Amino acid sequence: MKHMIPYWRKYQAQILLAFFFLFAGVILDLMLPAIVSRVIDNGVMENDITTVIRLGFVMLGVTVVGAGFAIGRCIISSRVSQQFGADLRLDLFAYINKFSFAALGSKETAGLITRMTNDTSQLVSFTNSLMRIFLRAPAILVGAIVLTVLLNPRLAIVLIGVVPIIAILMYISLKVTFPLFTKMQTALDKNNSVIREYLSGVRVVKAYNTFDQEVERFDMSNTNLAMVSIKAQRTVGIFFPIISFAVNMGLVVTLWLARGWIYDSTMQVGQIVAFLNYMMQISLALRMIFNVYQMFIRAKASAVRVGEILEEDVGDSTTHHPVLNHCKSMEHQCGGQPEGTRLSQDGDIFQNSMTLNNCIRFKNVTFTYPGGSNPVLTDISFDLPAREMLGILGSTGSGKTSLVQLIPAFYTPDRGCVMVGGKPTTELDTDVLRSSIAYVAQQNTIFYGTIADNIRMGKADATLEELEAAARKAGAYDFIMANPAGFDTIVGQKGVNLSGGQKQRIGIARALVRNAPILILDDCVSAVDVETEAGIMNAIMNDAATCIVITQRVSTVMNLKHILVLDNGKVAGLGDHQQLMETCEIYKEMFAVKYS
């Protein structure tokens, strides 16, 4: 619960006001049995109607004022708890957004969603109850016990026997049920994961007609969730009647003892009635405490799960990393930062007109994915001068995507140095670095919304003219304008109403509208025809950006001055087409396959 304290502290003034209303209401509620006792003993037993009426109006006034305090408390608790929930969800979303690829890879997407929804809702409910009944129940319990003892010390004998038994039962309940509710939330994670995977892959399921297998898989997950939930609720259900039985036995013992006390005139009827009222309040308070403990158990389990996210090492490459000192020691060797290159306040590191102002340099880079045992890249070295283009070829699994993901600092190399603009990426602020890179991933993501919205992800304030220019370069303008709504055409989630080639071209337009100094295209023209690909490549080559193109087609890069061939994570060849034809067997084989 320690992670929740800063959020509650933010609303401490409103929480304290709610607590004031709560305790004021408790005092008024505890006054009622004492007033009832006086009505019976001083009014009814003495046949004093005036006293009965007067005390009746006092009871009415106490009830009305108490209701006012209860309404105020409920209004404040509802507002604060919902604001707290909104703050927590926003912070969780923002924190998850900071996760590195490695940190995201270690978490299940469904688990993250459950933490932001179900677990947060549990904490919101607990916060609401905290101000409404969490402190109210103990206050009524303590107050009723104290007033009972003051009313008649002999009545405390019953309480001494009942209250400790109930306290022990609730402690046992807490210890037993907490692990069960934790398992229930984990089972909910798994259930959500199965649902999410099915919805994401529903086309594959229908194509391969595996609906029965998916139903069976969901049935197993759903049954497990039901069984864990039943076990948790059953355990709670066992303790609740036991506690109720203990309270009711206290009432029975009280009535049995009261019979003798009233008979020998050592206690008045009004005192017995007041004591029974206090016992009923104690019973109600204990029930409330038990219910709150259930909520507390679930909230504690949820708080632990939310805390796991907030305590997660985001793996931000702007933080200190072991490879950083190695990069610093190599900075002169790697070329260093050219004189005049600077990090300007507007976040652009590429303002200098020197040759290295947006160059890319790899020096003896070795990289292994977190949790992996074998390097995917080994001793990679190359220089890409500013405003020039590098083509990367290689078979599937050769490390092409892994290489370009080191440039925006999605990952940090184990050894060696990746430099952009003359400085190691580990020294650059990731926001500044990534804002200077336009990256088109291998798996293009299209979001629900208009085509214009999707392209503007590259540049939020892009004008219609800029959108059109980027779309023309990406070869997307014609099919966009073929729609009656043009750039305002709505595309479904993940671009379900677009072809693979159309999605790729929108992704390229998104990158081109950014007009970034560095452009990375990760095999993102595989679904377009050769003619469209040639038009896109010609448009890119006329730009001033430093560009890296990953492709499986030799024809795409054979006219470039810089071509890098990878094989099993190592450099198999580096140079232009003619040099590679003379020195690189893998390149010659790829060329022969294409043009044989």
pLDDT tens-digit series, residues 170-199: 778 777 877 887 788 778 778 877 887 777
C-alpha span between 399 and 377 (Å, rounded): 6
pLDDT confidence bin for 379, thresholds 50/70/90? very high
The most confident of the ranges 412-426, 488-502, 531-545 is 412-426
Higher pLDDT, 166 or 360: 360
Task: Tell me the per-residue pLDDT of 391-417, one tens digit each, with 9 for 90 and over.
Answer: 999 888 899 999 999 999 888 899 999
Higher pLDDT, 333 or 579: 579
pLDDT confidence bin for 326, thresholds 50/70/90? very low
- Identify the CATH number of the domain defined by range 5-310: 1.20.1560.10
Weakest mean pLDDT among 21-30, 38-47, 378-387, 445-454: 38-47
pLDDT confidence bin for 330, thresholds 50/70/90? very low
Task: Tell me the per-residue pLDDT of 475-519, one tens digit each, with 9 for 90 and over.
Answer: 899 999 999 999 999 987 777 778 888 888 999 999 999 888 999
How far CA 478 is from CA of 75, 463, 487, 509, 540, in Å, comes to 56, 18, 11, 13, 18
The most confident of the ranges 97-111, 472-486, 487-501, 528-542 is 472-486
Which residues, 6+ apart, have CB-to-CB distance to 538 below 8 Å? none
Residue bearing tokens 């939930």: 229
DSSP element (H, E) containing 15: helix 12-38
C-alpha span between 596 and 592 (Å, rounded): 5
Across all residues in the chain, what is the average pLDDT?
A: 79
pLDDT confidence bin for 318, thresholds 50/70/90? very low
Higher pLDDT, 583 or 160: 583
Long-range contacts, 489-492 (Cβ 8 Å, 24+): 489/450, 489/451, 490/448, 490/449, 490/450, 491/446, 491/448, 491/449, 491/450, 491/451, 491/454, 492/448
Give the model's pLDDT for residue 274: 78
CB distance 436 to 348 below 8 Å:
yes
Weakest mean pLDDT among 180-189, 290-299, 398-407, 440-449: 290-299
The b-or-e profile of 252-282 (16+ CB within 10 A means b, else e) is: eebeebbeebeeeeebbebbbbbbbbbbebb
Give the model's pLDDT for residue 136: 81
Q: What percent of the chain has pLDDT over 70?
A: 85
Which residues, 6+ apart, have CB-to-CB distance to 465 below 8 Å? none
Going from N- to C-terminal start, the domains of the chain cover 5-310
Task: Please determine, for residue 5, whether its predicted confidence score (pLDDT) is greater than 50.
Answer: yes
CB atoms within 10 A of CB 232: 23
Q: What percent of the chain has pLDDT over 90?
A: 19
Give the model's pLDDT for residue 456: 92
Higher pLDDT, 227 or 309: 227
